[in-house]
Chains A and B, each alone.
Chain A
Amino acid sequence: MADTTGSLLVRKRSRWWNAEARLAYILLAPAVIVLVAFMFYPIIYVFLMSFFDTSKLGQLRAFVGFKNYRGLFATSDFWVITIRSIAWTAIGVVSKTLFGLIIALLLNVEYKGRKFSRLLFIIPWASAVPISAMLWEWVYNPEFGLLSHTLKMVGLWKHPPIWLGEPISAFFACMWVDIWIGIPFMALVFLAGMQSIPAERYESAYIDGVNSWQKFFYITLPGISELLMIATLLSSLWTFNDFNVIYILTKGGPGGSTDILITSVYKNGFEWLKFNTASVMAVVTFIILAIVSIVYARIYFRRESS
């Protein structure tokens, strides 16, 4: 990619190289300084904290090596939360992908009002996540909420659970809100991908007399495979990172049954002032996120340069 970008001054006279590089550094400096001060330094500090004994105010007291790590890894809570985070991400991404595919397929059919349905399907992504989560809290209200009432009325579920009050239903209630927010992005990406598949491919398939399923599996799906990859990677990062939904709906409760790594980091740090635990968890989270991000970046670069 770097090679295709022309360079004005270099093309004219190569001795301007230094002047050009200097200008680049000057232009980049403000952004880089802000990023270093408010992103890289805090990350480094979290790494440091994870290797130190810290006071209740978060001050570093003594270097303890991997003691914090060993301490945390020895608790079953940590593993439960880690496994739950992975399950949360897996269930979330798979559901978002399936819903996204179905909606994209539906939106790819031409009918009057298609553009309008597209606009409506986007709303969960377009509206503010914290506000949506608050709305859902009211929707889930066991006594006055319209969800339980409607399920009973329609006869779909005679005795719905106290959504946010019981461990298993709380997990799935939060899960659904996260899925619900993530569906539109998936649908839009897949729809864009489907619309870029040349119509001739479908036409020749029509002449060959293939059925809809074959069309989907032999033309549509391969046509969007790379996008599917990028979208699921992005979605897994967002799902794994979803602090707002869980924190607003349950704060990780009841009894820690909806805590994932990201909410646990915050609660350990800000509510219980357990900075050792919080920083180790943050480091673990960081490493997981960094690995997935790098995979995303590599694929992104590859498709851009191709």
Chain B
Amino acid sequence: MNWRNRGKPLVIILTILLLLLILFPFFVMLSTMLKSGKEVYTSPPNWIPRKFVFSNFITVWKEYDLFGYFVSSFIIAIGATVFNTLLSVPAAYAVSRLRFPGRKLILYMFLVIQMFSPVIVVISLFKIIARIHLLDTYISLIITDTVFTLAFTTWMMNGYFKSIPIDIEEAALIDGCTRTQTITKIMLPIAVPGLVTTMIYTFIYAWNEFLFALSFIQSKPKMPLTIGLYNFVGRWSTQWQYLTMSAFYAIIPVLVLFYLIEKRLVAGLAGGAVKE
């Protein structure tokens, strides 16, 4: 492939230029999070802080109730992940392994509702959540985050279950395993990579969720990171060195998790042809 070799320097230059563009806000984050409060509001701004305030790494935990937001985000994300798994695994098993009237319709439904926007239902959901007295609770977000990830995770798990040869399960049934045992002892262990993917997907979704948290959570101690930080933005006096530092801390966990599932996620979204 001749042009590839000839074009290599050009490719690398273009890549670097595009990376500078794409990573711009993260460079800004890294620059701002180490500035002093005074330097943040200096015009014109500097890319490299005149004085590196490394203590921001620590002080931000005292300035903001970052720990509390982290705890809330964790509770919501873990809760949604558990709830989602409990619902999606049996559902996925049913559509992938059992034959029943309405199976195709259900599969089709799961694919279509992946795309529904939370905004469409948030008004009526608010009323429902209020009526069952769940406003300002973690549970409200655990439920709604589960609902809006359920279709996709079921769909993904369906794909993983389907890829397991049916003979394995059949042999176990003949050997006297019950249906539940074949699911827990045979199917799930083989489908672990898929299960991990869907669990991480739900975790990230709940961690990043903004709209429901904005609408349902009112008291400060229950706020997840997204809303907690959002409440600091927009004021003229926003302490951007702390906000960017918090953003740094908030992004790291999802970044790591995302890299673990990125290939499977693309394959799941784009359909059969993209191989992992």
Contacts and interface: CB of A to CB of B under 8 A. Distances in A.
A215 B2 CA distance: 12
Contacts of B25: 132, 135-136, 139
B144 to A, nearest CB: 7
A27 interface: yes
Given A30-B86, A293-B115, A111 B104 contact: no
B7 to A, nearest CB: 7
B274 A5 contact: no
B129 to A, nearest CB: 9
**Residue with the greatest number of chain A CB neighbours at <10 A, chosen from B101, B120, B270:** B120
Contacts of B75: none
Given A145-B45, A147-B24, A137 B233 contact: yes
Contact of A282 (B31, B119, B258, B272): B119
B95 A269 contact: no
B19 A297 contact: no
B113 A39 contact: yes
A128 B250 contact: yes
A14 B224 CA distance: 52
Contacts of A111: 8, 11-12
Interface on chain B toward A: helix, strand, loop, or mixed SS?
A: helix
A58 interface: yes
Interface on chain A toward B: helix, strand, loop, or mixed SS?
A: helix
Given A6-B166, A241-B117, A143 B43 contact: yes
B273 A297 contact: no
A79 interface: no
Interface residues of B, number: 112
B261 to A, nearest CB: 10
Nearest to A142: B43
Nearest to B109: A35
A165 B225 CA distance: 27
Interface of A: 1-2, 5-8, 10-11, 17, 20-21, 23-25, 27-28, 30-32, 34-35, 37-39, 41-43, 45-46, 49, 58, 102-103, 106-107, 109-111, 117, 119-132, 134-139, 143-147, 149-150, 152, 180, 183, 185, 188-189, 192-193, 196, 202, 206, 211-212, 215, 226-227, 230-231, 234, 237, 241, 243-244, 247-248, 262, 265-266, 269-270, 275, 278-279, 282, 285-286, 289-290, 292-294, 296-297, 299-301, 303-304
Given A131-B229, A243-B211, 10 more contacts: A23-B98, A34-B147, A43-B120, A58-B123, A121-B19, A127-B255, A150-B47, A226-B273, A248-B210, A270-B122
Interface of B: 1-4, 7-8, 11-12, 14-15, 18-19, 22-29, 31-32, 40-45, 47, 86-88, 90-91, 93-101, 103-104, 106-108, 111-128, 143-144, 146-148, 150-151, 154, 162, 166, 169-170, 173, 179, 207-208, 210-211, 215, 225-226, 229-230, 233-234, 238, 240, 243-244, 247, 250-251, 254-255, 258-259, 262, 266-267, 269-275
